Amino acid sequence: MHLVDEEEDPAIRATLWAEDGEAILSPLAQARIGAELRAMYADLRDEPLPDRLVWLSEQLERKCRERLRGH
């Protein structure tokens, strides 16, 4: 993944850095990162949770309900 394409305007490339030299992300770079992350995690989102995570989630939920009831 490239945040800045070679053919892009140098002014766009310059928006990756603030005047004080601190790194910032332009809206274009943010959009590209977001699109890449969504694409990477799309398949994972559709996978079933492993049994161990389901069990842990159920335990956490049970404990939260108990606390809310004052037990």
Reported pTM: 0.39
- Measure the CA–CA gap between 69 and 65, rounded to whole angstroms: 6
> Taking the chain (71 residues) in consecutive chunks of 10 residues, what is each chunk's mean pLDDT?
53 60 80 93 88 95 93 63
